Every structure is written in structure tokens, then in C-alpha cells.
Chain A
């Protein structure tokens, strides 16, 4: 059974800081997602990774398949980045297994 662990659980940062959220999973996967959930809002998929690194604007996601680890980085953080960030992994065609999320608050 795949288990997905995220850290930290909660994170408060000052505007402009560089932020890293970590995700570890326990079994081999075919894809890993980073998702963003705003308060009262739905879920938006930020990245889907199976290897290497992806960048979109101020967001960067990396994955190390050998170490079963992924990181989400936010550069030059802004209060509008405040949200819950969720890591989710899947094996083959199986449903996603989710981490418990990291609640990020960016203070101006």
C-alpha cells in the first residue's frame, strides 16, 4: 500500500521568502501530482511529474525517483500563495493516494 507523507504540516512565511514543501512516498509510482486548494475552493492541479523537474512561473517541482521524494518550491512568495498544498501519488492506473497537505500562510 502506498503511503504519502508531507512536511511540514503548517508553514508561515514572510512575503518574498523561498518556500519548500516536501513529499515522500513509500512505493514505486507512475506519477506524482502537486495540488493547490484555496479556502472554500476546489483543487487545482499545479504539476504532474514522473521524473526530473518542472517549472511554472514562481513554482518549481522536483522529483527523485530513487529516493521516492518530491519537493515543491515557491520563489518570491506572495500572500496570494496562501493555500493548502497537497502531494498525491499513484501507481499505474490506480487512484491517487494523497498526503495530508501543507497549510501555507504568507504574511505581507
Chain B
């Protein structure tokens, strides 16, 4: 596609429910990142898929968070048993692999847990 596409753009869910957030990266981009921006906070790293290597999950805040990337393209971030503190904007970015490659960001999914 022309850019990084995320869906849904907004999601309101009840506490305790599971949610899935989707990221469709730019075609050919083998690196994919998920970040989170909580209200009034900076962006924090969640997980990084780098080609065929094992993903870097070091930023996931708890075991309720998981992500997968099927076929090296689309990625899904899943949050189980959502809590109010999970409310945030979840951003996806993709890039080519390499040290000096530019990252392109999606518009984000605004998640509100009520």
C-alpha cells in the first residue's frame, strides 16, 4: 500500500475484554514496530519484528500483550483482559532493514478501556 495502515482507528472496549489491533506495513518493509503513547506520555517501544529473526518483545508491559506477524507482512497486536491503564494510542511503524533506514508511521489506533 501507499503507507502504513492501522485498524481500527478508534476502539472502545470494556475492561476485561480482549482486543486486536492490526497493522498493515508498507509493502516490502521487513521491519515492523509497535509503540504505545499513553495520555501525556512519550512514545514507548513494545515489540519489534525484524525480517525472519525472532521478534524483540522486550518492551511488552505484561503477558497480557502479544503480537504476531503473519507471512512477514500484516501484524496483529493482541491485548487480553484489557485494563484501564491500557488506554493509549498504539502506533505501528515499518521500515526496510538496515541502519539508516527511515521509519514510516501509521495513524495509530486510539484504544479506550472503560
Q: Do A and B come from one complex?
A: yes
- Enumerate chain A interface residues (CB-CB to B < 8 A): 30-31, 33, 35, 41-45, 48, 50, 86, 88, 92-101
Query: Shortest distance in angstroms between B25's beta carbon and chain A's nearest beta carbon?
Result: 14
A30 and B42 form a contact (CB under 8 A):
no
Residues of B within 8 A of A33 (CB): 102-103
Q: Which segment, of B11-19, B65-73, B76-84, B105-113, faces chain A?
A: B105-113
B99 and A42 form a contact (CB under 8 A):
no
Query: Shortest distance in angstroms between A46's beta carbon and chain B's nearest beta carbon?
Result: 10
Task: Kindly state the separation between the CA atoms of A30 and B100 in the bound complex, as whole angstroms.
Answer: 6
Residues of A within 8 A of B108 (CB): 42-43
Task: Kindly state the separation between the CA atoms of A43 and B94 in the bound complex, as whole angstroms.
Answer: 13
Known: A42-B107, A50-B100. A93 touches B50 (CB 8 A): yes
Query: Shortest distance in angstroms between B45's beta carbon and chain A's nearest beta carbon?
Result: 5
Task: Kindly state the separation between the CA atoms of A95 and B58 in the bound complex, as whole angstroms.
Answer: 11
Residues of A within 8 A of B103 (CB): 33, 45, 48, 96
Query: Shortest distance in angstroms between A22's beta carbon and chain B's nearest beta carbon?
Result: 16
Residues of A within 8 A of B93 (CB): 96
Task: Give the residue name and chain of the A residue nearest to B3 (CB).
Answer: A42
Known: A30-B100, A96-B45. A43 touches B59 (CB 8 A): no
Question: Is the C-beta of B91 less than 8 angstroms from some C-beta in chain A?
Answer: yes
Query: Shortest distance in angstroms between A101's beta carbon and chain B's nearest beta carbon?
Result: 6
Other-chain contact of B99, A44, A45, A92, A98 (Cβ < 8 Å): A92
B42 and A101 form a contact (CB under 8 A):
yes
Task: Kindly state the separation between the CA atoms of A95 and B33 in the bound complex, as whole angstroms.
Answer: 7
B48 and A95 form a contact (CB under 8 A):
yes
Task: Kindly state the separation between the CA atoms of A93 and B55 in the bound complex, as whole angstroms.
Answer: 12
Question: Is the C-beta of B74 less than 8 angstroms from some C-beta in chain A?
Answer: no
Known: A42-B91, A42-B105, A95-B59. A31 touches B50 (CB 8 A): no
Task: Kindly state the separation between the CA atoms of A30 and B99 in the bound complex, as whole angstroms.
Answer: 6
For the A-B complex with A42-B106, A96-B93 known, give 8 more contacts whose Cβ atoms are closer than 8 Å. Answer: A35-B105, A42-B91, A44-B105, A45-B102, A86-B42, A88-B43, A96-B43, A97-B45
